[in-house]
Structure 1
Amino acid sequence: MKNKFLSIKNNISFKNGLIPVIIQDFKTNKVLMLGFMNEEAYKKSIFDKKVTFYSRSKKRLWTKGEISKNYLFIEKILIDCDKDTLLIKVSPNGPVCHKGTDTCWKEINKKNFLFILEDLILNRTRQRKKKSYIFQLWEQGINRIAQKLGEESIELIIESKDNNNNLFLNESADLLFHYLILLQYKKINIQDVIDLLEKRNLIK
């Protein structure tokens, strides 16, 4: 299958043999780090689908995570208008900075909480703990999950008619929580929904 990242290679201008590369989290949009690539590093990156830089200090190719295994798996590559800077959107496999933080600017909270909650829901279903509300609902199957989502929707609609924002907020949280459970049951990630919304609303 043809590598989807090959198409932009001919548009890149490797000034002095190197091009700066901004690394951004695909899900959270956080800027994670900055590195440099030469043409060989770029080719290796698109072949492996993992970010490889050219280390100016070591004078060699350097795959991020080659020691720590905290690889940067490539999701999307963008080139700027001058064709001399890359933005690579990645799914990081662990902390990005060698000091253990998720960015080289010392941020700690790697994921938006919705993604954390999504992971929690999936873990509860795999752990099969009978006392877990998520697992109990999961075991009842799609009909019960869909019914519960419908019940939460009706409760939210009812609260929207009143002036108690606290109750409305709580029902909103309940609805979103059960929606995430339904998505996981259907083997769909919240990122898939976000991607579709972005696609529908792109300015042409």
Structure 2
Amino acid sequence: MTLDDLAALITQRAKASPDESWTAKLLAKGPEKAAEKFGEEAIEAVIEAVKGDRERLASEAADVLFHLLVMLESRGVALAEVMAELDRRQTQSGLAEKAKRKT
């Protein structure tokens, strides 16, 4: 499954009844709840990375990606917009990009 496939699945599930879909249920609680859930999953991934458990890290990373896409969906931000920003950033070094943010 690609991130595009996952984003499309989330968009599809967002249209379902909250009684039938975890994604729809989460989205029905609003963007703030989606952001909170993303944050929880990110913290869990960090914990597994520090512990060095590769299998658990992979599992938590999957949760992070899923909930990132749900959070984006909750605010109407398409994965294509994020990918376009990543493409734009490839035209300069990471150090130059960070320095530019400070000015």
Give TM-score, length-normalised by structure 1: 0.43
* Paired residues for 1:182-193 under 5 Å: 182-193=71-82
Structure 2 partner of 1:146? 35
TM value normalised by structure 2: 0.82
Q: How does 1:1-204 map to 2 (within 5 A)?
A: 113-202=2-91
CA drift at 1:129: 4.7
Residue 170 of structure 1 deviates from its aligned partner by 0.4
CA distance in 2, matches of 1:127, 1:193: 25
The letter for the 1-side match of 2:24 is: F
Number of positions where the alignment pairs a residue of Structure 1 with one of Structure 2: 93
> Any stretches of 5+ residues in structure 2 without a counterpart?
94-103
Amino acid at match of 2:38: L
Compute the RMSD of aligned alpha carbons.
Answer: 1.7
Structure 1 CA distance for aligned equivalents of residues 92 and 26 of structure 2: 40
Distance 1:149 1:123 in 2: 19
Quick check: which has more Rg, 1 or 2? 1
Runs of 4+ in 1 over 4 A off after TM superposition: none
Matched residues, percent identical?
30
C-alpha deviation, 1:128, in angstroms: 2.3
Higher helix share: 2
Between stretches 189-198 and 164-173, larger displacement belongs to 189-198
Shift of 1:203: 5.0
> Any gaps of 5 or more consecutive residues in structure 1?
1-111
Alignment CA distance shift 1:161-1:124 (3 Å)? same
Asked whether the 8 Å contact 2:18–2:28 carries over to 1, the reply is no
Q: Which amino acid aligns with 1:168?
A: L
